[in-house]
């Protein structure tokens, strides 16, 4: 079975600052790319506030959601991993399913990939 992290409440996928820091220690690339308060953005300016919630995957809502480190921290930390307006959970699906994340107002589910026109 494949394990995938999704948000199970309205508001949106978000990881707490503490979880971002722990994921950095584990080498989780999206967390390493996050800019926290006091750190520099790629343009050289310094982030002046702590957003307390980091999505880590703006470009691709499916990116890294099945990464073993992200799954591990959600399972181990429970509610402490949640950013603001998030309730992160691990969903299991069969290994051979091509999947995508469906989202409505931040509430997410995993669906088998399909075509739409």
Mean pLDDT value across the chain: 87
Per-residue pLDDT tens over the stretch 62-93: 568 898 999 999 999 999 999 988 999 999 99
pTM of the complete model: 0.84
For range 21-28, the mean pLDDT: 89
Maximal C-alpha separation, the chain: 44
The enclosing H or E element of 5 equals: strand 2-7
**What radius of gyration, in Å, describes the C-alpha atoms of the chain?**
15
Residue 61: pLDDT band with limits 50, 70, 90: low
């Amino acid at each position: 079975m494949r394990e995938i992290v999704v948000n199970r409440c309205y508001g949106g996928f978000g990881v707490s600052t503490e979880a971002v820091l722990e994921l950095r220690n584990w080498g989780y690339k999206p967390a390493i790319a996050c800019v926290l308060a006091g750190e520099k953005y790629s343009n050289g300016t310094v982030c002046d506030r702590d957003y307390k919630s980091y999505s880590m995957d703006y470009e691709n809502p499916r990116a890294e959601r099945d990464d073993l480190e992200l799954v591990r921290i959600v399972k181990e930390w429970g509610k402490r991993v949640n950013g603001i307006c998030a309730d992160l959970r691990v969903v299991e699906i069969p290994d051979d399913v091509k999947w995508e994340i469906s989202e409505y107002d931040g509430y997410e589910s995993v669906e088998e990939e399909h075509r739409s026109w």
